[in-house]
Structure 1
Amino acid sequence: MADQEQLDTCCSSEVSSRKSHHSEQTKRNLVSRLNRIEGQIRGVKGLIEKDTYCDDVITQISAIQSALNGVGKMLLEGHLKSCVVERIQEGDQEVIDEFLVTIQRLMKK
């Protein structure tokens, strides 16, 4: 993701109030990507309602999955570079196991 701006994120180490703090530019980028994905999903619904050839629908679904993976990768990168690093620096080693579980969840898809 060479063209992507540096994700400006930070997670509080308090479990009950953990939040991600993204820059406004990052939020706009993520929301824009998600809006496009939402439109693609509506498009697939329309294709199905119009009895479009299955292979064409599957191709669109594949594009949606790829787009969602891109959003996940952006969030994962920002999380690793800020939240995880910060918590390790604070001495919280449990974040490593949490991060590994997160990666496993993303890789299942």
Structure 2
Amino acid sequence: MEKKQRAAVEEEAHCHTVSERKSHHSDLVKKNLVTRLNRVEGQIRGIKGLIEKDTYCDDVITQIAATQSALNSVAKILLEGHLRNCVVDRIQEGDMEVVDEVLTTIQRLMKK
């Protein structure tokens, strides 16, 4: 029984499992990401308020650009962690399909 429990713990620690893929961010990274996303959420509410107040279009667009930049920062943090952990783990396991997955992800991030 102990061997099965150890195997389950080891599999849970990996980003990629057969049944479900999960990330394994530290509590500090999660807190950082949530803080940034809360800020983005506030920026979105602020943009909505600017539109409701008929704020000058260029000012609204400037706020939208700032919000997009903040969201891109979240994506960069996630991508870095993904490359350093999940992708490396999967390549070490012989799963080279992860390279195509990452390329597709980067293409999605770069679309604008």
Following TM superposition, where does structure 1 have runs of at least 4 consecutive aligned residues deviating by more than 2 angstroms? none
1:98 pairs, out of 97, 101, 105, with 101
Aligned-residue offset at 1:21: 1.4
Equivalent runs, 1:11-90 vs 2, <5 Å:
11-14=15-18, 16-90=19-93
What is the alpha-carbon distance in structure 2 between the residues aligned to residue 12 and residue 99 of structure 1?
Answer: 13
Higher relative contact order at CA 8 Å, sep ≥6: structure 1 or structure 2? 1
Q: Which has the larger radius of gyration?
A: 2
TM-score with structure 1 setting the length: 0.88
Aligned residue type for 1:12:
H
The number of equivalent residue pairs is 100
Larger helix proportion, structure 1 or 2? 2
Letter in 1 for 2:100: D
Counting aligned pairs with the same residue, the percent is: 75
